[in-house]
Amino acid sequence: MKRFAQLIEELDRTTRTGEKVDALSRYFGQADPADAVWTLRVLSGRRQRRIVSGRQLRIWAAEWAGLPPWLVEESYSVVGDLAETIALLVAGDAGGVERPLHRVMEEDVLGLRGLTDEELRGRIRTRWSELGFWEAFVWHKLLTGAFRVGVGKGLVLRGLEKATGIPRTTLAHRMAGEWEATPEEWARITGPEQEEDDLARPYPFFLAHPLEQEAEALGRMGAWQVEWKWDGIRGQVVRRGELVAVWSRGEELVTSSFPEISKAAAALPDGTVLDGEILAVDRHGESPIPDTPKVRPFSDLQRRLNRKRVGPGLLRQVPVHFLAYDLLEAGGTDLRTLGTADRRRRLEALLGDAAPLVGAGITASPLLEPTDWEEAASLRERSRELGVEGLMLKEASAEYGVGRTRGPWWKWKVDPLSLDVVMVYARAGRGRRANLYTDYTFAIHDGEELVPIAKAYSGLDDGEIREVDRWIRDHTLERFGPVRAVEPDLVFELAFDGIRRSSRHKSGIALRFPRIARWRRDKPAGEADTLDRAEALLRIGPDSPPSPTARVEELSLFDAADP
């Protein structure tokens, strides 16, 4: 347990990716398999069921420390992390009692299930008398099922790859599906490579840079392949031997989330790897883009993400489709050194031959054929009404590279939408920003009333954050736990990528990926935008029905959607 706590401390004390990878590699290289497999399970996002509530911990910690509950609540609002707050209140200074992590998990986490509240309180108080700060911090996170410490699954895979020498895509494939935290599973995950590992492995994704210069600077229009930039999740479909695997750009194996794509891919020729976009679609709607299904909003696709099993109801409600725009392997031959246009011709031929078998689950994305950059710009301006994000520009002769290489691929996205909004609520951040108010709720005018429309926490620089924080503290009207209602005086320009109706907001509208574009110091609150203005923006894009279960502002795998 001490070694695991030391790892968490190392990860917490640095923001450098390389240092985090090194810390994980050292740990996995030295830890006992029985402990290492639990660390892998916990850090890779395999959450355990919550054993104790945060409220129970705060009450018992107040009793332990001899403090009034309100003071513990205040401490929590300042520290910003419950596990850290409780650890500061209860941990001793003797350095903790050493017990292996697997015993802590089996006896002091899973072993507490089914206890009465009084039995649970007694066991927790006993452990508090034995734990140092970092051990207590880690244990509280395990108990509450909220183990988020600044490392994602991708970072864990990089650390494990460095420790074992096994490619992270192989490790990701081995870690897919259900597995228990046992030494036997650790041996399976980190053991010698098998033939099926190669069969499942995707290629590194080639990524595009945002186009920041004039498009004309790229030269002759005919030297570029032009496509729509789709609003979905970038993915690769691998079909080798009897195996089908679907990978996201973040090297997440998402085969189980999209069974209809897997079924269609099984009809592809052996030795095929496609690069493309996973999209939520309306099978019965008419698409404004010829030869494609009607694409539904990204928020609908979110309902399909991170699911080990997709039930028949959700399959009917949110069908998905794979639009392929590149062929990386055919007949087992790596095609990445061929030019973009050559690979595209081979893709069209392959999918044309396989169409009767593949069905409607996988098709080629359409190409655009503008005669000059002016016509390309006109196409880009139509993006929102067509339900896409802009254009992709790919050099026709370019090989398929690795990572984000400037030059061969560009994403020419449509400019974001914006509204001038008024700050009405503020909440302190987490971690290193726990003492600053950095999470804001914004509203727009609806007659004489201000109605909330979005939350945002990015876009201001450090100096502006500190200035806004001071203003919030001086202009608080009410407090609701960690949230402060503030005088509705500050105006900000909020940029966002999409807008749709939503029952989750009093305004009836939700924004996709809202972020602060600038602080409008020049504008009084009375001149901020209105609900009528937001309603007008709704009419810019294609009509789509509201999805009451979709959480538009909380993005899942959002980065994976952007090549």
- State the CB neighbour count (10 A cutoff) for residue 67: 14
Close Cβ partners of 417 (under 8 Å, ≥ 6 residues apart)? 495, 496, 497, 498, 499, 537, 540
List phi, psi (to 5°) of 332: 80, 5
Cα–Cα nearest to 398, from 203, 251, 236, 207:
207
Query: Is 207 buried (19+), middle (13-18) or exposed (0-12) by CB count in 10 A?
Result: middle
DSSP state letters, 493-539: EEEESEEEE-TTSTTSEEEES-EEEEE-TTS-GGGS-BHHHHHHHHT
- State the CB neighbour count (10 A cutoff) for residue 53: 12
Which DSSP helix (H) or strand (E) runs through 446?
Answer: strand 437-446
Cα–Cα nearest to 412, from 389, 384, 378, 396:
389
Q: What is the distance in angstroms between the CA of the first residue and the CA of the last residue of the chain? A: 40
Token pair listed for 65: 């420390």
Query: Is 422 buried (19+), middle (13-18) or exposed (0-12) by CB count in 10 A?
Result: buried
Close Cβ partners of 41 (under 8 Å, ≥ 6 residues apart)? 179, 181
| Alpha-carbon gap, residue 439 to 458, rounded angstroms | 8
CA angle 8, 11, 15 (to 5 degrees): 155
Ranges of beta strands (E only) in 208-343 are: 209-210, 224-229, 233-240, 243-248, 272-282, 294-295, 320-330, 333-334
Close Cβ partners of 283 (under 8 Å, ≥ 6 residues apart)? 293, 319, 360
Enter the DSSP assignment of 45.
T
Residue with tokens 């600044």: 150
Burial readout 106-123 (b: 16 or more C-beta within 10 A, e: otherwise): eebbeebeeeeeeebbeb
Active-site residue, 229 included: yes
| Alpha-carbon gap, residue 366 to 359, rounded angstroms | 17
Close Cβ partners of 345 (under 8 Å, ≥ 6 residues apart)? none
Please tell me which residue in 20, 229, 394, 413 is annotated as part of the active site: 229
User: What is the amino acid identity at position 168?
Assistant: R
Query: Is 478 buried (19+), middle (13-18) or exposed (0-12) by CB count in 10 A?
Result: exposed
List phi, psi (to 5°) of 509: -135, 145
Query: Is 561 buried (19+), middle (13-18) or exposed (0-12) by CB count in 10 A?
Result: buried
DSSP reduced 3-state for 396:
coil
List active site positions. Answer: 229
